[in-house]
Amino acid sequence: MTRMPLHAPFVNRHARAGVSFLAVAVILAATCVSVGLAIPGIASPAWRSVVQAATDALGFAAVWIALPLGAYLLATSGSPSPSRRALAVAIAVALPILAEWSGASESPFLIMLALAAAVGGYTLIGLGVSEQRRERSRSGAVDAPFAVVTPYEAVTGGLVLAHATSFLLWWVGLGLDLAGTLGLGGGDASPLGALLALLGAACLSAAILLQLRVSSPDVALQADAEGEDPLQVTARETAIPVTSTTVTP
Cα-based distances in Å from 244 to 1, 85, 226, 229: 14, 39, 18, 12
Map residue 223 onto helix, strand or coil.
helix
Tell me the mean pLDDT in the region 52-72. 95
CA-to-CA separations, 25 to 113, 125, 175, 231, in angstroms, rounded? 11, 16, 23, 37
Give the C-alpha separation, 149 to 133, whole Å.
10
In sequence order, the 6+-apart residues with CB closer than 8 A to the CB of 162 are 199, 200, 203
Q: Which of 14-18, 49-53, 228-232 has the lowest mean pLDDT?
A: 228-232
The pLDDT tens digits for 85-123 are 999 999 999 999 999 998 888 887 887 888 888 888 899
Q: Residue 179 in contact with residue 185, Cβ under 8 Å?
A: yes
The pLDDT tens digits for 24-47 are 999 999 999 988 888 888 888 999
Whole-model pTM over 0.85:
no
Q: Identify residue 91 by its one-letter amino acid code.
A: I
Whether 202 contacts 62, CB under 8 Å:
no
138-181 pLDDT, tens per residue?
A: 766 554 555 577 888 899 999 999 998 888 777 665 444 444 44
- Tens of pLDDT along 179-237? 444 444 444 567 888 898 899 999 999 999 998 875 444 444 443 444 443 344 444 44
Identify the H or E element spanning 123: helix 109-138
Helix segments in 139-214, DSSP class H: 151-171, 178-182, 191-210
DSSP code, position 6: T
Position 230 scores a pLDDT of 39
pLDDT tens sequence across 70-90: 999 999 987 889 999 999 999
Q: Answer for the pair 178, 190: CB distance below 8 angstroms, yes or no.
A: yes
